[in-house]
Amino acid sequence: MEQNPVIQIDQLSKVYTVNEREAGLIAAMRSLVKRKTRDVNAVDAISFTVGEGEIVGFLGPNGAGKTTTLKMLSGLLHPTGGSASVLGYRPWERNRDYLRRMTLVMGQRNQLLWDIPVIDTFELNRAVYRIPEAQYRLAVDELTELLELAPLLQKPTRNLSLGERMKCEIAAALLHRPSVLFLDEPTIGLDVTMQRRIRRFITEYNQHTGATVLLTSHYMADVEALCKRVIVIHHGKMLYDGELTGLADRFAPFKTVEVKLQNGLDGRPLAQYGELMAQTEGRVTLRIPKDDTASVTGRLLAELDVADLTVQDPPIEDVIEHVFSQSPSPLDDPDPQQAQSG
């Protein structure tokens, strides 16, 4: 789906200068005279391109630099280095036309006014974004239907549950029909049903409007449901940019083999085949180095009474966890070939 690039960032960096102080009174007094500061590379020369209509998952552990990147792309933060262009605008110049065409949804940030009914925040956004009346009606009707907002619109924000509020937040952020969506943890803290609804909604919005979506989430289910392509960053550096399915090939050195035995386990020493992950009555899950998969499955089939055997990539969550628990520095540079897929 390589189309017109909507988001282009090149060597984008953000260095925060933080004050550093040891604990204690003496240190506090010393810091009056001489301030110790330390530079933190929140985002370290990352580059990628996102095409029109793509939904890209932006992954990384807490503090990886995802939110900082999204903040730079939505014009909240000035970068320390590098360049970025979204819809042809430099985000941090905060051109009004740019702001009218994009949106940033943060799972923990509120744009809904706390004390007044949701519909009144919508009304305010209509004025601020100068949405024509007819288009506004249409957008409200559509969002109300897709997100099932009808019973919520007349309630003050403070009376909504977290999930209800999130749905309304998303609706408020989309009334002006942005063509670029930055979604930072849009499903955080929501129950599974609500997560699923929001996911479905994002897909529908994307198909309906052709909007480009860059999304972060800690829930791999979100990513698996929405994104063919993922970008992984860690310690501000890019680790991977490519298809979600390629992530396991690239980073997981293991396969998961699940074996069901004819006559139960009978205390047979299965650990010799691989690392025992789980073991229930007659069924066992092993982790096997990727390169040994063929030989080990061969041995299992030959030496045991196997009723069923499946070989799988480890769950994407495990892969990600594995990636992040590796050395703190990036494994290697992202593969430019893979960077263009999606």
Partner 1 sequence: MFAFYPIYRGYFRTSLMMMFQYRIAMLIWLLGGIIEPLMYLVIWRTVSQQQGGSVGGYSTNDFVVYFIAMMMVSHGTFTWIMWEYVYRIRMGQFSVMLLKPIHPIHSDIADNIGYKFLTLTVMGPTVLLLAWFFDASWQPTYWTLAAFVPVLILAFLMRFYWEWSLAMVAFWTLRIDAMNQAYIVITLFFSGKLAPLSLFPQFVQRAADLLPFRWMLSFPVELLLGRVTPRDLLIGIGAQLFWLLAGYLVMQLIYRAGIKRYAAFGN
Report if residue 153 touches partner 1, rule: CB under 8 A. no
Can you tell me which of 3, 110, 135, 207 binds partner 1, judged by CB under 8 A?
110
Can you tell me which of 103, 187, 195, 297 binds partner 1, judged by CB under 8 A?
103
Which residues, at least 6 apart from 232, have a Cβ–Cβ distance to it below 8 Å? Answer: 59, 60, 238, 239, 240, 241, 247, 320, 323
The span of 69-77, 196-204, 263-271, 276-284 binding partner 1 (CB under 8 A) equals: 69-77
- Residue 245, φ and ψ in degrees, nearest 5: -65, -25
The span of 111-119, 205-213, 249-257, 303-311 binding partner 1 (CB under 8 A) equals: 111-119
Report if residue 111 touches partner 1, rule: CB under 8 A. yes
Q: Residue 87's closest CA among 73, 71, 106?
A: 73
Report if residue 130 touches partner 1, rule: CB under 8 A. yes
Can you tell me which of 5, 8, 15, 16 binds partner 1, judged by CB under 8 A?
16
| Residue 242 vs residues 29, 119, 153, 155: alpha-carbon distances, Å | 50, 40, 40, 43
User: Rounded distance, CA 69 to CA 118, Å?
Assistant: 29
User: Rounded distance, CA 181 to CA 202, Å?
Assistant: 10
User: Rounded distance, CA 176 to CA 194, Å?
Assistant: 23
Report if residue 76 touches partner 1, rule: CB under 8 A. yes
User: Rounded distance, CA 218 to CA 263, Å?
Assistant: 40
Can you tell me which of 43, 99, 211, 232 binds partner 1, judged by CB under 8 A?
99
The least distance separating partner 1 from the CB of residue 65, rounded to whole angstroms, comes to 13
Report if residue 165 touches partner 1, rule: CB under 8 A. no
Can you tell me which of 9, 43, 55, 106 binds partner 1, judged by CB under 8 A?
106
Report if residue 108 touches partner 1, rule: CB under 8 A. yes
Can you tell me which of 6, 44, 50, 67 binds partner 1, judged by CB under 8 A?
67
Phi-psi region of 306 (alpha: psi -120 to 50; beta: other; left: phi over 0): beta
Order of strands, edge to edge, in the sheet holding 283-289?
275-280, 283-289, 254-261, 306-312
Task: Count the residues of the shown chain that bind partner 1, applying the rule CB under 8 A.
Answer: 35
35 and 17 Cβ atoms separated by less than 8 Å:
no
162 and 146 Cβ atoms separated by less than 8 Å:
no
The least distance separating partner 1 from the CB of residue 101, rounded to whole angstroms, comes to 9
| Segment 77 to 96, residues that bind partner 1, using CB under 8 A | 77-78, 94, 96
Q: Residue 3's closest CA among 246, 212, 224?
A: 212
| Segment 167 to 206, residues that bind partner 1, using CB under 8 A | 184-185
Exposure string over 231-250, b if 16+ CB within 10 A, otherwise e: bbbbbbbbbbbbbbebbbeb
The least distance separating partner 1 from the CB of residue 157, rounded to whole angstroms, comes to 11
The span of 122-130, 204-212, 311-319, 324-332 binding partner 1 (CB under 8 A) equals: 122-130
- For partner 1, which is the closer residue by CB, 9 or 72? 72
- For partner 1, which is the closer residue by CB, 98 or 240? 98
Site for partner 1, rule CB under 8 A: 16, 67, 71, 74-78, 94, 96-97, 99-100, 103-104, 106-111, 113, 115-116, 120-121, 123-124, 126-130, 184-185
